[in-house]
Chains A and B, each alone.
Chain A
Amino acid sequence: MSQLPQAITDGILGGAVYALMAAGLTLIFGVMDIINIAQGILVVLAAYLSYALSVHLHIDPLLGLLITVPAMFAVGAAIEWAFMRRLRGRERTAMSLLVSYAVAVVIEGALYQVFGANDVAIQAPYVNSGVHVLGFDLPYIYLIGAGLAVVAFAAIYLLLYRTTFGRSVRATMQDKVAARLIGINVNRVAAITFGIGVGVTAAGGMVFGATNAFSPNSGYDLISRLLSIVILGGLGSIGGAAAAALFMVTAEEVVNIWQPVWATAVYYAVLVIVLLVRPVGIFGKPEARSS
């Protein structure tokens, strides 16, 4: 019965990577009230980038992050500039779901076109090896993923709370109109935030692609998990997303011991139950006044 502690360990290490991807999603929502459904397929896109770099140019996936992180940042900023910026009005958030869904479909089609429909996986020396500590199996790739997540979280934290840019982001998060009035370039903040939110998929995608066989179709599975996580954590709350990611992935790993085929249902079941009890999510704030 060493399965349970191992499952929990796997859940926490694996959850860290999901936390990172979900943090990007929830950061974008917090600043812009936009739900980026494309986040799932962008993780897959990042995974394919790492894959292509390592297969064709023989660049180590870890080293390749130096290329893929800026590339994904640029993709994110471009999506914001081309589409999200143009959304206006009361139903902006719901519309953003549709727009980013459409963006996801375009990217999915492009990935099929370029890479075909077959499953691939990222190969590297540290993918299939690991260390044994106190009877636990710790694959290097999971350790690397967790490490990357911690580094990225620290960077996001420092950026948000220790820089002028971070202050602009937080002001924008609270009140867009007021932020604009005090001279914050809200458009620039939005583009950069979207870039950062998508940029984290580079690290997430690399780890995801190394630990799973993936195809252009994998985006759906990813986004449904990520959405469950961010809603559960309360949209806009980065800490909430991190906690929810660790909890959900661990729960999935644990259920996986007994019920492998139903393990993914954990996400949706927990989500439905939580929202029945507390519609704003665990860490979400109630809606503002109506007068």
Chain B
Amino acid sequence: MTMTEAATAPSASPAPLLRTESVSKAFGGVQALSGASIEVGRGTIAGLIGPNGSGKTTLFNIITGYARADSGQVYLDGRRITNLPPERVFSLGIGRTFQLTRIFPTMTVFENMLIAGQHKERSWNPLARAGGAASRRHAMELLDFVGIARHAGALAQTLSYGQRKLLELAYVLVADPEIVLLDEPAGGVNPSLINTIAGKIRELNAAGKTFLIVEHNMDFVMGLCDRVMVLDYGSVIAAGPPAQVRADPRVLDAYLGTGEDDDAQDGDRGAGHEGA
């Protein structure tokens, strides 16, 4: 957190830290994103919501270099980062988790933490051991925080789905990027732990870290975020403080599916498959 914390004037909306500008993306016939523009202010917690298949994960993929935008731009701190490869995006300060969790299955839980922290070690010697004493302690603390410290020595593939989500959260925190993108951090996690996670996010945010969170759990989003953006059919249909967004009739429409496709569809757009 070397960034000027003193200048964190909430919602004064100076130049946003992360911004996308009419990003579009089609998969074959499916228009996953059409002109999606979002903004995340520095030091804020932003929420991104929308029905299933509205393009949230796709937008994450484009921001972080896992998918290429057909058109549109992505800016980090005013700098254009559109379609940079994932390792570049990460080194510029964006970290993320995956909706379906992507951990390193044949490495131990603790090694997963070390690999997430490896970029911080500026050793000239490639054969240096991974992780100094301090970073090892920090990794252990984070594992303890998400409650899986006693599995530190186990192979990550032996974790349950919920535990994997927690591991991925812990290791994106150990990676310590400037802005953290979380794709459904509360999905499959038990309710009391959801509160703990929300608390941790608040705590880190108070220390200056920026978050962009995709989540279907409305209590979680509305209770946590400073600003919420709503995606529907690949474009942003509403944005603002939680209370305002919650009351917006367009958002209700999008979720309840009134209009053209009200026959039996529960807001699932497109093919709805979840490839791995």
A residues at B contact (CB < 8 Å): 288-291
Contact = CB atoms under 8 A, between A and B. Distances in A.
Interface string B235-276: 000000000000000000000000000000000000000111
Nearest to A291: B57
B273 to A, nearest CB: 9
Nearest to B100: A291
Nearest to B98: A291
A290 B98 CA distance: 9
Interface string B14-50: 0000000000000100000000000000000000000
Contacts, number: 19
Contacts of A288: 275-276
B75 interface: no
Nearest to A290: B66
B108 interface: no
Contacts of B99: 291
Given A290-B275, A291-B99, A291-B274, 14 more contacts: A288-B275, A288-B276, A289-B27, A289-B67, A289-B275, A290-B61, A290-B66, A290-B102, A291-B57, A291-B61, A291-B66, A291-B98, A291-B275, A291-B276
Interface size class of B (residues with CB under 8 A): 10 to 19
A194 B215 CA distance: 46
Contacts of A289: 27, 67, 275
B106 to A, nearest CB: 9
Contacts of B275: 288-291
A64 B61 CA distance: 57
B188 to A, nearest CB: 15
Contacts of B67: 289
Specify which of A289, A290, A291 lies most central, judged by the most chain B CB atoms within 10 Å of its CB: A291
A291 B276 CA distance: 6
A289 B100 CA distance: 12
Contacts of A291: 57, 61, 66, 98-100, 274-276
Nearest to B106: A90
A291 B27 CA distance: 14
Nearest to B61: A291
A184 B117 CA distance: 46
5 contacts: A288-B276, A289-B27, A290-B66, A291-B98, A291-B100
A288 B67 CA distance: 11
Interface in B41-95: 57, 61, 66-67
Contacts of A290: 61, 66, 102, 275-276
Interface string B101-121: 010000000000000000000
Nearest to B273: A289
Which 9 A-B pairs give the minimum distances between C-beta atoms? Answer: A289-B275, A288-B275, A291-B57, A290-B66, A291-B99, A291-B100, A291-B98, A291-B275, A291-B61
A290 B67 CA distance: 8
A291 B274 CA distance: 8
Nearest to B66: A290
A289 B274 CA distance: 9
Contacts of B27: 289
B85 to A, nearest CB: 13
A87 B67 CA distance: 31
A290 B276 CA distance: 6
A181 B102 CA distance: 26
Nearest to B183: A291
A290 to B, nearest CB: 6
B259 to A, nearest CB: 27
A291 B61 CA distance: 7
B13 to A, nearest CB: 31
B48 to A, nearest CB: 15
A26 to B, nearest CB: 23
A141 to B, nearest CB: 45
A174 to B, nearest CB: 12
A271 B57 CA distance: 36
Contacts of B61: 290-291
A288 B66 CA distance: 12
A291 to B, nearest CB: 5
B164 to A, nearest CB: 14
A289 B32 CA distance: 13
A38 to B, nearest CB: 29
Nearest to A287: B275
A288 B61 CA distance: 13
Nearest to B99: A291
B101 to A, nearest CB: 10
B272 to A, nearest CB: 13
B68 to A, nearest CB: 11
Contacts of B98: 291
B28 to A, nearest CB: 11
A289 B66 CA distance: 9
B105 to A, nearest CB: 8
A256 B57 CA distance: 53
A290 B274 CA distance: 9
B182 to A, nearest CB: 14
Nearest to B86: A290
B200 to A, nearest CB: 24
Nearest to A90: B105
